[in-house]
Amino acid sequence: MVLFAAAVLACCAGPSHGAGMEVDGYAALVNSRVITVGDVLALIQPVRLQLESSYSGDELETKTEEAFQTGLQALIERALILEEFTAQGGVIPDRFIDDQISEIVSDHFNNDRAAFLKALTEDRLTLDDWRTETRNRLEVTILRRKEVTDKVIIAPRAVREVYDASIDKYRTPAQIKLRMIALHKGTTEEDQAAKLGEAEHIRERLLAGEDFGEVAKASSEGIKAAKGGDMGWVEPGSLRPELADAANGLEPGRISEVIPTQDELYILKVEAKKSAAVTPFEEAQQSIEKELRKTEEDRLYKAWIQRLKDKYYVKVFHTSEE
């Protein structure tokens, strides 16, 4: 059940020991805010479980240490933001926290407050723990929005410039929906003559109206035989030249001649075609703006965190060199 894990994991989840780490030892200090090794291990516990299922030995140790350092940095940044929120005189009224509780009890516990408190106990939390962590989370969200998100401005001209500079990204090449029957040609002249005759007979059956997919399942020796020769949507340029030329010359619904290549004989059916196109700027605009906004927000956030590091005392006790 861990309904509250995402909100409280960093400072309230149970300890999980790492090799050579004292869980209650200091990992970092931000002014008077203590970040313990246990805090970091609790934060990265889901990542550690994934790593343990994928790595072992020295590689696991290296990956775990990298995750630890990433988690430690996240908690340092969080502590810096909380310090700044306090320094700016920010206050989260108690009624906001009460409203959060009421919303959770209503949405997830059918208005049963006792069930909510029981869930906290199962997650090894007190109500005070939960209120404190919820308050901290709101403080971080509010200040980050004020100092970073609300300061991101993306000019329409910048969006257009990105679109024009990366226009190839928005081009969709011509495609064909293709079915294919393939027969191995054989090695001797006799085999080759027999295979060619078989291919011509198969083509006559298709022209007479038999279903291409069913004939392909029964007769094709190609890799897509079991799927009725269905190649899906393909770009003609991805096909060998003989097949590309034949496919480009076919109208949808038509059956090709028997097409010989070095080792095989092919019969094609083009079911549909899509012309080459370019995604209009209006359709790409929103996604480009979102990417630019994310890039700018990351830049502003990093610069802001650096200013906070310069402003407040930060001492790191656990490093990858230890």
Assign residue 57 the CATH number of its domain.
1.10.4030.10
269 neighbors 204 (Cβ within 8 angstroms): no
Q: Residues 118, 179: one domain?
A: no
83 neighbors 89 (Cβ within 8 angstroms): no
Residue 252 falls inside a structural domain: yes
- Answer whether residue 21 shows pLDDT above 70: no
Q: How confident is the model over 46-75, as pLDDT tens digits?
A: 999 999 999 999 999 999 999 999 999 999
Give the range among 32-36, 37-41, 186-190, 221-225 with minimum mean pLDDT. 186-190
What span, in angstroms and rounded, lies between the C-alpha atoms of 77 and 73? Answer: 6
Residue 156 falls inside a structural domain: no
Q: Residues 107, 204: one domain?
A: no
Q: Residues 131, 185: one domain?
A: no
Q: Cα-atom radius of gyration of the chain, to the nearest Å?
A: 32
Residue 289 falls inside a structural domain: no
Whole-number pLDDT of residue 273: 94
Q: Residues 113, 205: one domain?
A: no
- Residue showing tokens 């206050």: 91
- Answer whether residue 320 shows pLDDT above 70: no
**pTM above threshold 0.85:** no
Whole-number pLDDT of residue 22: 61
Average pLDDT over residues 120-133: 91
- Residue 109: what are its φ and ψ, rounded to 5°? -130, 20
Residue 168 falls inside a structural domain: no
Q: Residues 76, 22: one domain?
A: yes
37 neighbors 24 (Cβ within 8 angstroms): yes
What span, in angstroms and rounded, lies between the C-alpha atoms of 239 and 268? Answer: 12
What span, in angstroms and rounded, lies between the C-alpha atoms of 229 and 216? Answer: 6
User: Across all residues in the chain, what is the average pLDDT?
Assistant: 90
Q: Residues 197, 257: one domain?
A: yes
Q: How confident is the model over 252-298, as pLDDT tens digits?
A: 999 999 999 988 999 999 999 999 999 999 999 999 999 999 999 99
* Pair of tokens at residue 255: 């059956």
Whole-number pLDDT of residue 319: 56
Q: Residues 189, 222: one domain?
A: yes
Q: Residues 128, 195: one domain?
A: no
Q: Residues 115, 193: one domain?
A: no
Distance from the Cα of residue 15 to its chain's centroid: 29
- Answer whether residue 15 shows pLDDT above 80: no
Residue 297 falls inside a structural domain: no
Average pLDDT over residues 9-19: 38
187 neighbors 179 (Cβ within 8 angstroms): no
Residue 286 falls inside a structural domain: no
The total domain count for the chain is 2
Residue 195 falls inside a structural domain: yes
Q: Residues 213, 144: one domain?
A: no
Question: Which domain CATH number covers 245?
Answer: 3.10.50.40
Whole-number pLDDT of residue 257: 95
- Answer whether residue 4 shows pLDDT above 70: no
Residue 300 falls inside a structural domain: no
Q: Residues 27, 137: one domain?
A: yes
Average pLDDT over residues 36-42: 92
Q: Residues 137, 208: one domain?
A: no
* Confidence label for 318 from pLDDT (cuts 50, 70 and 90): low
Give the residue numbers spanning the domain of 18. Answer: 5-150+312-316
Whole-number pLDDT of residue 6: 38
Whole-number pLDDT of residue 186: 84
Compute the C-alpha angle 294/297/300, nearest 5°.
Answer: 155
